[in-house]
Chain A
């Protein structure tokens, strides 16, 4: 990792962060640049402090599971007093993978990529009874 690479902090409920990084490692063979954090047993203040310790003064993206969760609020509070941090809520594997392969770019470009390049794929049923697969 070079000094300008952006670090990713993945924070979620239960074992989500570690589980997602496990999946990332299975797909890419690496989890470099991503640190997992779980919120278990942490007060909002303790979680914010933990995120702040990990972020330091490096450019960072905090990936969060729920937009309305305690992890998101802790990350947003930290972002309020930090200039080199972005917060991304609703994390998924495509977002994390895109981040991993582009975290050498400037923070603004990385965020723009995540905003515009990585979407959620939802395929609608093609007919009324398509929810039941035929054999």
Chain B
């Protein structure tokens, strides 16, 4: 399996992903799954311009990614899959293309309707609903912003919320 990590992060490609996780795991590509960004070539160029030469950026909409992820996974190249929200990751997981993959909640920041769970994780009722649906799929889910931080399982997050 060449998909090393699936991460939900509203910053998409950024320092923690490229340097914090990428440099440690040895990345060949970062695949961003985002319906809006997949239609915007200038924004894709902007992301590509910031990446190290050895890392390729790929962009796909959600439906396209459901076809592409199995091909990326059955390849010697090593990569991450990023989405900016839980709903997109849930759609990928429900399609079955992420079975047995670990989903990392790495950065969802403050916005109206969202409450702080961790300094890097703010969730709305809708986000929690999406996480409940994600739990019903074949992926494991945890929160962790950088590799040196403690990994918090989704079960622990849900338990804390219910207290």
Contact = CB atoms under 8 A, between A and B. Distances in A.
A44 interface: yes
A70 B19 CA distance: 12
Interface residues of B, number: 20
Interface in A1-52: 13, 41-44, 46
A66 B14 CA distance: 9
Given A76-B46, A76-B49, A77-B46, A69 B14 contact: yes
A44 B10 CA distance: 7
B111 A80 contact: no
A42 B111 CA distance: 9
Contacts of A80: 42, 46
A68 interface: yes
Given A43-B10, A44-B10, A77-B43, A67 B50 contact: yes
Interface residues of A, number: 17
A7 B57 CA distance: 33
B43 A68 contact: no
11 contacts: A41-B110, A42-B109, A46-B109, A68-B13, A68-B15, A69-B15, A69-B50, A70-B14, A72-B50, A80-B42, A80-B46
Interface of A: 13, 41-44, 46, 66-70, 72-73, 76-77, 80, 89
Given A41-B110, A68-B15, A77-B46, 7 more contacts: A43-B109, A44-B10, A66-B50, A68-B19, A73-B13, A73-B14, A76-B50
